[in-house]
Structure 1
Amino acid sequence: MNADRRRGSWLIVAGAVAALVLGIATTVLLAGTGASRHAVPAAWRAPGVRCSAPAMPGTVVDVAVSDMGPGMMGGAPGGYGMRLWARPATVSAGLLSLRVVNTGATVHEVVVLPLPSGQGIGERLTGPDGKVDEAGSLGEASRTCGTGEGHGIAPGAVGWTTLTLRPGRYELVCNLPGHYLAGMYTELVVSR
């Protein structure tokens, strides 16, 4: 029985190492060929993605929005373990496209807001509806399988928007009720 446990443990370790080596090899191959330049990063794709973004103009920023889904960590908006992050986090000023993939289990969106001097991300006040003030918004991706404003990006789907940004600091937020308070924001720095 002890030998069976050791053999099972060895197989688990061997499988994990093989998956890691395969992942690294695939990343190196794609980076070398440039094949991943216009694709949503594989690690951000949710199973069953129903659509993909077209080729987009300008610098492409991949944005992932995610949550742990209902029923986990309390099942309330503040307890979902929600996240929003962008890659790259620093881009040059000018035309850029945000390609947003929802890897979570609930609907999300991304709104682009300028960050006032001296203000950090996650410091905006929320109203009684659990949302931040969108005054001054420069654009948003909230349409399932489409560009611009809509009713949110469905789980497993992609949404996108293209805009022109000047040098400065911007906060990308999911502004559905309670999502900002749950941690769905990140900074995008636009340099000269």
Structure 2
Amino acid sequence: MSADRWPGRRLVLAGAVAALLLGAASVLALAATDAFRGPSGAHWRVPGARCNAPALPGQAVDVTVGDMGPGMMGGSPGRHGMGMLRLVARPGVVSGGVVSLQVFNAGAMTHEVVVLPLSPGQGLGERPTGPDGKIDEAGSLGEASRTCGAGAGDGIAPGAMGWTTLALNPGRYELVCNVPGHYAAGMYAELDVER
């Protein structure tokens, strides 16, 4: 096959790679900064969000979920490749008692956050996924998966928030997105609850 068969192929490929890297850098930069964080104990206001969380009781944990958006990730459904899906929780350590998760979906796909206890010695991302691309939610303490609302729903739409308030005992917890394929693609984070 001749290299001249598809003129400009290298330029198109280089442009696609650059767009992919720029998108990944943008998601990582947003997740790594405090751009979406409010002061501790305050409710989280995200400029331009479809909705914001109301004032919630207890300690606030700001969670940002995100992805690179449609058309920028290759692969088949459920395989989002290259770790382009993110779930970041701040702070990562709180005191036992009432804790409110305020989840902002900074991505282009629907996401959710489910709270599961971690057993002693159990690591993050070690839960087996079933044929449906989801993990078993048995033992869940609650979730934020309702667009512009509290508790369980059909997922948090892009640009919107969802929230939940829980009473958490000291221990380790895994916050996960259980949309098919998202957990396997790295959408989990640890929340440690101290005495």
Q: Say yes or no: does 1:99 pair with 2:102.
A: yes
1:10-41 deviation per Cα after TM superposition (whole angstroms, max 9, x unaligned): xxxxxxxxxxxxxxxxx8xxx9xxx7342437
**Where does structure 2 lack aligned partners over 5 or more consecutive residues?**
1-33
Q: Say yes or no: does 1:180 pair with 2:186.
A: no
Aligned-residue CA RMSD (Å):
1.9
**Is the contact between residue 80 and residue 181 of structure 2 (CA under 8 Å) also seen in structure 1?**
no
Pick which of 48-57 and 151-160 moved more. Answer: 48-57
Aligned counterparts of 1:75 and 1:103: Cα–Cα separation in 2: 21
Q: Say yes or no: does 1:62 pair with 2:62.
A: yes
1:81-132 deviation per Cα after TM superposition (whole angstroms, max 9, x unaligned): 1000100000000001000000000000000000011110001000000000
1:64-94 deviation per Cα after TM superposition (whole angstroms, max 9, x unaligned): 0000011113064322610001000000000
Give me the TM-score of the superposition, normalised by structure 1: 0.77
**Is the contact between residue 43 and residue 60 of structure 2 (CA under 8 Å) also seen in structure 1?**
no
**1:60 partner SS:** strand
1:126-159 deviation per Cα after TM superposition (whole angstroms, max 9, x unaligned): 0000000000000000000000000000000000
Tell me what 1:163 maps to: 166
Q: Report which of the two structures shows the higher radius of gyration computed on alpha carbons.
A: 1
**1:172 partner SS:** strand
Q: Which residue type is aligned with residue 182 of structure 2?
A: H
Q: Say yes or no: does 1:89 pair with 2:92.
A: yes
Q: Say yes or no: does 1:151 pair with 2:154.
A: yes
Question: By percentage of residues, which structure has more helix?
Answer: 1
In the TM superposition, what are the counterparts of 1:137-148 in structure 2 within 5 Å?
137-148=140-151
Aligned residues: 156
In the TM superposition, what are the counterparts of 1:31-42 in structure 2 within 5 Å?
36-37=39-40, 38-40=42-44
**Where does structure 1 lack aligned partners over 5 or more consecutive residues?**
1-26
Tell me what 1:118 maps to: 121
**Is the contact between residue 86 and residue 186 of structure 2 (CA under 8 Å) also seen in structure 1?**
yes
Runs of 4+ in 1 over 4 A off after TM superposition: none
Give me the TM-score of the superposition, normalised by structure 2: 0.75
Q: Say yes or no: does 1:134 pair with 2:137.
A: yes
**Is the contact between residue 145 and residue 157 of structure 1 (CA under 8 Å) also seen in structure 2?**
yes
> How far has the Cα of 1:182 moved from its partner?
0.8
Q: Say yes or no: does 1:74 pair with 2:77.
A: no
